Amino acid sequence: MAAPAPRSRPGARTLAAAPGARRAAALAAAALACLALTACGTDVDDITQGPGFGWTAAHNDGRNSGTTAVEGSRQLGPAWQRPLGGPVAAPVTVGSQGQMFVTTRTANCAIFSFQMSGRKRFCNQLGPNAIAAPTLLDSANNVYVGDDSGVNSDNFLGQPRWRTPVAGVPVTMQFTGDGHVLSITQTGQVDVLERQTGKRMVPTVQLLGEPDFLRAPDLTWPAAGQGLDDCATGGPRCAVSTQAAVDGASGRIYATVWEPGRPAAALVALRYTGDRIERLWSAELLTDGAAAGPTVSADGSTVYVGDNSGRLLAIDTADGRTRWAHELGWTPRGGLSVDADGLLVPAGDDGYLIALRDTGDAVETVWERKDLALRGTPVQTAGGTGYTVAAIGDGLTLITFDTETGATVDSDVLPDAQGSTTGTAVGPKGEVVTATRIGELFVFTPVSQG
């Protein structure tokens, strides 16, 4: 499908705009900083990508592992909280220096960035459906984010770097193994874009098939927000409802796809070779669709995915064969945390905190906490410490738990919080960040025990 003509990017708002000569000087300084940090549009690129120390993608890394090499603190305390003025649908991301990014929908801003101190770095306007788009960060805190019919990149100050048109709204933002940006929209358009310029590195792939303009000459460009309302629950009107997973070593990409008219959604395996994207296999096994995205094991041999019938499945990445299926008794949604030893902690607001272990052709329950009703995404850190948000009483509480036993080692109330949260992020110094769906950001920091 041919890309539409690029449309103008809505204006960006930063914290301060210096008038007259001061503004000119500020712009000149920003241009120099851009050349130093991002090589703005040149062939020189010394910016790294990948998780590092921070939470730089929706589930931290390309595998969607929901784990981090940062050693988690077992005693946290509330640092600050603030309302955004609009709802939140995607997880917060955190850069290697502690800069946070989150999308929302307000009258003036669709993406906010904050420093770990609580100071607002910038807020920018985007299309109204940017709220559904996850953010992605590189080592220079350049942010990559989708909105209505486009993929955008801003630098750490919120200044626009580039915009590339796409069909729909990107619900996947990941890095490929060679450091490019993978975008997949809810309508099924797959693109690999250069980080410095946004140019397409390979031909676009349509997961729902290429349009036949000879048979349908009047075919129109789909509305950017088409089917987005079904994405949160993995419904049939949202072709791609979850964040795809990427195995950078093999170039494999795993996405959930519900083709129109099909009885179930499929897990689809693609491979990015550097010069094209090819299909490997498709397994139509996700009953009632999927709201829990795929997660790749540390060795790349297994991809885990949940469906709306309440199952968690382990799929052989070589051929799409189901290794095992486990009935959770509730619908998994959001992220799945999988550590290097195969300890799986699923998420879903209908469920409770539970840990499973993959034994190869079967799965076993390690521990379960039916007293902790999930209201967020569990994550695991180095040192055997995990975090999640649970419903306790009439409010929400951040639970710090031991990943080996499930025991609670600390708990911190989210003051006046309601509903549920979109994800859990761990910062470079062990900070824990989460946002409620109604639009409030909460930050917890390690408590010194000296």
How many percent of the chain have pLDDT more than 90? 84
Q: At residue 425, does pLDDT exceed 60?
A: yes
Which pair of tokens denotes residue 320? 């799409």
The pTM for the full model equals 0.89
Does residue 13 form part of some domain? no
3-state secondary structure of 351: coil
Render the burial of 214-233: b for 16+ CB within 10 Å, e for the rest. Answer: eeeeeeeebebbbbbebbee
Q: What is the mean pLDDT of residues 197-221?
A: 82
Q: What is the mean pLDDT of residues 282-293?
A: 96
Does residue 9 form part of some domain? no
Does residue 60 form part of some domain? yes
Question: In this predicted structure, what is the pLDDT of residue 216?
Answer: 65
Question: In this predicted structure, what is the pLDDT of residue 34?
Answer: 41
Question: In this predicted structure, what is the pLDDT of residue 18?
Answer: 39
Does residue 72 form part of some domain? yes
Question: In this predicted structure, what is the pLDDT of residue 209?
Answer: 85
Does residue 435 form part of some domain? yes
Does residue 31 form part of some domain? no
Q: At residue 362, does pLDDT exceed 60?
A: yes
The answer to whether the beta carbons of residues 427 and 54 sit under 8 Å apart is: yes
CATH code of the domain containing 116? 2.130.10.10
Confidence of residue 212 (pLDDT cuts 50, 70, 90): low
Q: At residue 46, does pLDDT exceed 90?
A: no
Does residue 291 form part of some domain? yes
Confidence of residue 438 (pLDDT cuts 50, 70, 90): very high
Does residue 16 form part of some domain? no
The residue among 324 and 4 whose pLDDT is bigger is 324
Total domains in the fold of the chain: 1
Beta bridge partners of 67: 380
Q: At residue 270, does pLDDT exceed 50?
A: yes
Confidence of residue 51 (pLDDT cuts 50, 70, 90): low
Confidence of residue 183 (pLDDT cuts 50, 70, 90): very high
| Mean pLDDT score of the chain | 89
Strands 291-296, 333-334: parallel, antiparallel or unpaired by DSSP?
A: parallel
**Structural domain boundaries, residue 183:** 49-212+222-446
